[in-house]
Chain A
Amino acid sequence: MNGARQTVTVGPCPVPLPAGGDVRMRLGSAAMLAAGALLTAAGAASDLHRVAAAWMWGFTFVWTIVVGALFFVAVQHLTASVWSAVVRRVAEAVASHAWLVAVLFVPVVAFAWMPHAFHVFPWADPGHVAGSEALAGKAPYLNPLFFTIRGVAFVAIWAAYGRFFVGTSLAQDTGRAGADATVRMRRAAPVFVLLFAVSVTFGAIDWLMSLDPHWFSTIFGVYAFAGMFVTALAVVTLGVLDLRATGRLGSGVVRDDHVWSLGALVFGMSCFWAYIAFSQFMLIWYGNLPEETAWFQVRFAGGWEAVTVAVAFLRFVLPFLLLIARPAKTSVPVLATACAIVIAGQALDLYWLVMPGAHPDRALPGWIEMGPILAMTGALGLGVWRFLNRNPAIPVRDPLLDRSLAHHL
């Protein structure tokens, strides 16, 4: 794209250093942010309840992408992975926005404390809880104070570890930190993954499951994790494909062997999501207990049937059929389509989790619903491209990089 860029040599390959390019992506992201912000503001003026529900949708979408990317980074260190060194920076660009999740969480706290203004969490309304024995029993867990404490702890964990993993990796670029930095990240990874498991599980319970506070499912944390991880993988893969196409990764650095590995992970995790989603649905369907089926009942009525089927297609059927063949995982159009479908599937899945509780009678999103998710995705996109325009798109002094470049299937 820009031939005059300065380069560094990585192994045998020249890699361009950032020189501000990719105006296209930044403009697109800024346009999304502006349009989304306008819609959100206009929506807030007309229907606060709908905007608040839409905020939960957008917030959980950005949350799952950013924290999923952070998990991807940590897992590479946890497993001492070598092949992925060359694609890790793209995940780091996303993971470095854990602070954004913290910022977007602030209104969610307000939803919990001001139930009458927003009507997001039924358990937050003392009048509603007083009328239900079941909800009164959950009050020790589902109350605004404990909800806030948990949420603040979770976003703090992600922000701190995001800073640590990305900061340490960027420090390596200077060439001074060397192998010590990799060892430090490998040591930190197991503890992070433990904290991640707890925080994502209870984050999912608080921000998605508790929207219908009567419903419960022990697998829900795993369900949220599966969707989160496959989406982050798809985002990283799309980022890598785009950077490679625009020459930002140099030539011959990210080869088909790396792209195939990413595609295989997207394929595998789509199947894993399907496995978890099927386990949850089938067991509840087979048991047929009213306290569990009520949640699905809403999603199989009033126009939501189509959304339910679409979720299954976008999350599993289409990615599975597109990616099962070996050549598909290195074909740019096929892989990029599959990744876009996976990301759209995550958006629709979260819509399907959030919205039936807020307005069961309206299955299709209106303009109010689209505001927050557009704005937040635009903000994330803007930040990610800003990051990639300031830092090399691969960790140029990572000690494992030579071997990662030599990765052959």
Chain B
Amino acid sequence: MSDHAPAARALDPRLEPFPLVPPGTTPAQLDDAILRPIETFPTLRWWGAFAVAMSMLGLFGVALTVTVLEGTGTWGLNQPVGWAFDITNLVFWIGIGHAGTLISAILFLFRQHWRTAIARFAEATTLFAVLCAIQFPVIHTGRPWLALYWLFPYPNHNGIWTNFRSPLEWDVFAISTYGTVSLLFWYTGLLPDLAIARDRAKNPFRKVIYGFLSLGWNGSARAWHHYERAYLLFAGIATPLVLSVHSVISFDFAVSVVPGWHTTIFPPYFVAGAIFSGFGMVTMLVVLLRRFFRLEHVISERHLDVMNKIMLATSLMVGYAYAMEFFTAWYSGVLYEKFVFLNRALGPYAWAYWTMVSCNVFVPQLLWIRKFRRNPWLMYPIVILVNVGMWFERFVIIVSSLHRDYLPSSWGMYAPTWVEVGLLVGSFGLFFTLVLLFVRLLPAISIAELKHAAAAQQGGARHG
């Protein structure tokens, strides 16, 4: 960046953007702070957390084995609720991924330089969340070893094709595109940092592995030029994916004529909810990351403050969607629409509905107060409840719309079996295991980008 600003007049401190790193931090100090977790032997606390995560993952294995050996009959699904935990978990996990893409792509295009401190970590959670999400539709096919055959269209002798009119087939394209682009974007961003890890490695074994992964990165001007172009292009490609993936997920419901599912606001409403839940998850993990890896100076309270503001904004968007659904159900004058929404709020699943509204709309209003946005102890219960609430949102949409359909004679109730609960808990095990491995094996914060942004800020030249 060769541009020189005219010497900026001293700005009122209230208007000054917050420092990305504490003034006076040297690049070498950043290297040390961020690479320390991958260059030292894991602590006992990490092993403890890893053991817990692995046990949960073990539960996933058990539940999966039972499902495969016995079939999906071991789940609580029956008429009229033929879809419940499996699709709830799919939507929940795909949603979790959206914060990562928003942070890495959209906030990059909007020149939000503070994103640098959390982008890498958030992108990694995107990849892991997508991995958790795809388990469920694949398991739900009953014979997952045949899933590839059922899901992917390919020319064949019998002329049998997948159903292109089904939004479930669109999901296959949407999610696989999303996963691929996210992986490439994330890996491209990792290259300079992998080279730093390689250059610092003392162990020849580490040097070879990081050297291999860094694809021969040499830090030349040419390499940086290509890198920056690729990064910008990936950000441009990933931006529409933030909107499209969860919109396609919402089509699973909205193209049907089931009251409570068929409503036009679903696509943007699902996207807002996805970003909301993703920020809930990322904030929950980042608070731990900065504390246990002593990164409080890189991910400061001001970073948490901005993340919580985005969470508050998306909470209000989700609240807006709830309100519009209710209003329009009444305004439409359609008997079935009115019934579904009254049944949600007052019927047998009212407890789930009010859990959802409380966790997603009422509780996050505390984030209007600055103290709750900046104090990790105060925000922690809120972000956990956001995760709970967003899981329940999908449960409410799916189960409460299905369990009492047009014919009262076929009404019923749904309750999960231990196998379904095991798969849900187990998917958290898969997610946490991957997160714990990630923070120990790869730099959780983009060192190169952070140095760049911090230098630019201290030079006073780049302001969004």
Binary per-residue interface labels of chain B (441-464) against chain A in the complex, 1 for a CB within 8 Å, 0 otherwise = 000000000000000000011111
Say if the beta carbon of B243 comes within 8 Å of chain A: yes
Binds B, one of A79-87, A228-236, A334-342: A79-87
Say if the beta carbon of B263 comes within 8 Å of chain A: yes
Determine the distance from Cα of A11 to Cα of B462 in the docked complex, in whole angstroms: 16
Determine the distance from Cα of A360 to Cα of B111 in the docked complex, in whole angstroms: 47
**Would you call A406 and B5 a contact (CB within 8 A)?**
yes
Q: Report the nearest A residue to B316, measured CB to CB.
A: A194
Interface residues of B in 338-397 (CB under 8 A from A): none
**Would you call B324 and A407 a contact (CB within 8 A)?**
no
| Nearest CB of B to A261, in Å | 9
Say if the beta carbon of B331 comes within 8 Å of chain A: yes
**Would you call B6 and A283 a contact (CB within 8 A)?**
no
**Would you call B325 and A218 a contact (CB within 8 A)?**
yes
Interface residues of B in 227-273 (CB under 8 A from A): 240, 243, 247, 251, 254-257, 262-268
**Would you call B15 and A141 a contact (CB within 8 A)?**
no
Chain B residue total in the interface (Cβ 8 A) = 43
Within the complex, which residue of A81, A201, A276, A287 is in contact with B268, where a contact is CB–CB below 8 Å? A276
**Would you call B320 and A218 a contact (CB within 8 A)?**
no
**Would you call A400 and B334 a contact (CB within 8 A)?**
no
Residues of B within 8 A of A218 (CB): 263-265, 321, 324-325, 328
Binds B, one of A52-60, A89-97, A103-111, A176-184: A176-184
With A134-B333, A279-B267, A287-B256: A399-B247 Cβ-Cβ less than 8 Å:
no
Determine the distance from Cα of A179 to Cα of B10 in the docked complex, in whole angstroms: 11
With A218-B263, A283-B255: A80-B17 Cβ-Cβ less than 8 Å:
yes
Within the complex, which residue of B251, B255, B265, B333 is in contact with A219, where a contact is CB–CB below 8 Å? B265
**Would you call B6 and A222 a contact (CB within 8 A)?**
no
**Would you call A279 and B463 a contact (CB within 8 A)?**
no
**Would you call B463 and A178 a contact (CB within 8 A)?**
no
With A201-B324, A217-B264, A218-B263: A179-B15 Cβ-Cβ less than 8 Å:
yes
| Nearest CB of B to A79, in Å | 8
Determine the distance from Cα of A291 to Cα of B321 in the docked complex, in whole angstroms: 21
Residues of A within 8 A of B257 (CB): 287-289
**Would you call B324 and A399 a contact (CB within 8 A)?**
no
Within the complex, which residue of A133, A220, A275, A406 is in contact with B267, where a contact is CB–CB below 8 Å? A275
Say if the beta carbon of B45 comes within 8 Å of chain A: no
Among the interface residues A141, A219, A399, which one has the most CB atoms of the partner chain B within 10 A?
A219
Say if the beta carbon of A408 comes within 8 Å of chain B: yes
**Would you call B265 and A289 a contact (CB within 8 A)?**
no
**Would you call A183 and B264 a contact (CB within 8 A)?**
no
Say if the beta carbon of A22 comes within 8 Å of chain B: no
Within the complex, which residue of A141, A178, A289 is in contact with B331, where a contact is CB–CB below 8 Å? A141
Residues of A within 8 A of B325 (CB): 218
**Would you call A275 and B247 a contact (CB within 8 A)?**
yes
With A82-B463, A283-B262, A408-B3: A216-B268 Cβ-Cβ less than 8 Å:
no
Binary per-residue interface labels of chain A (202-240) against chain B in the complex, 1 for a CB within 8 Å, 0 otherwise = 000100000000001111111000000000000000000
**Would you call B240 and A271 a contact (CB within 8 A)?**
yes
Residues of B within 8 A of A399 (CB): 11-12, 15
**Would you call A402 and B254 a contact (CB within 8 A)?**
no
With A179-B12, A194-B316, A218-B324: A83-B463 Cβ-Cβ less than 8 Å:
yes
| Nearest CB of B to A83, in Å | 6
Say if the beta carbon of A284 comes within 8 Å of chain B: yes
| Nearest CB of A to B391, in Å | 23
Q: Report the nearest B residue to A182, measured CB to CB.
A: B15
**Would you call B264 and A283 a contact (CB within 8 A)?**
yes
Residues of B within 8 A of A402 (CB): 5-6, 8-9
Interface residues of B in 290-349 (CB under 8 A from A): 316, 320-321, 324-325, 328, 331-334
With A218-B328, A222-B265: A403-B240 Cβ-Cβ less than 8 Å:
no
Say if the beta carbon of B14 comes within 8 Å of chain A: yes
Residues of B within 8 A of A220 (CB): 264
Determine the distance from Cα of A100 to Cα of B449 in the docked complex, in whole angstroms: 48
Say if the beta carbon of A280 comes within 8 Å of chain B: yes
**Would you call A275 and B463 a contact (CB within 8 A)?**
no
Say if the beta carbon of A317 comes within 8 Å of chain B: no
Determine the distance from Cα of A385 to Cα of B226 in the docked complex, in whole angstroms: 46
Interface residues of A in 229-258 (CB under 8 A from B): none
**Would you call A216 and B15 a contact (CB within 8 A)?**
no
**Would you call B14 and A179 a contact (CB within 8 A)?**
yes
**Would you call B324 and A291 a contact (CB within 8 A)?**
no
Residues of B within 8 A of A83 (CB): 111, 463-464
With A81-B464, A83-B464, A271-B240: A283-B266 Cβ-Cβ less than 8 Å:
yes
**Would you call A405 and B15 a contact (CB within 8 A)?**
no
Determine the distance from Cα of A186 to Cα of B9 in the docked complex, in whole angstroms: 21
Residues of B within 8 A of A178 (CB): 12
Binary per-residue interface labels of chain A (131-161) against chain B in the complex, 1 for a CB within 8 Å, 0 otherwise = 0011001100100000000000000000000
A residues in contact (CB < 8 Å) with B: 11-12, 80-83, 133-134, 137-138, 141, 178-179, 182-183, 194, 197, 201, 205, 216-222, 264, 271, 275-276, 279-280, 282-284, 286-289, 291, 399-400, 402-403, 405-408
**New A-B pairs, 4, CB < 8 Å, besides A179-B12, A194-B316, A201-B320:** A179-B15, A275-B268, A402-B5, A408-B5
A sample of 20 inter-chain contacts (CB < 8 A) reads A179-B14, A183-B12, A183-B14, A194-B316, A216-B332, A217-B264, A219-B267, A271-B240, A279-B268, A283-B267, A287-B256, A287-B262, A399-B12, A399-B15, A402-B6, A402-B8, A403-B5, A403-B8, A406-B3, A407-B463
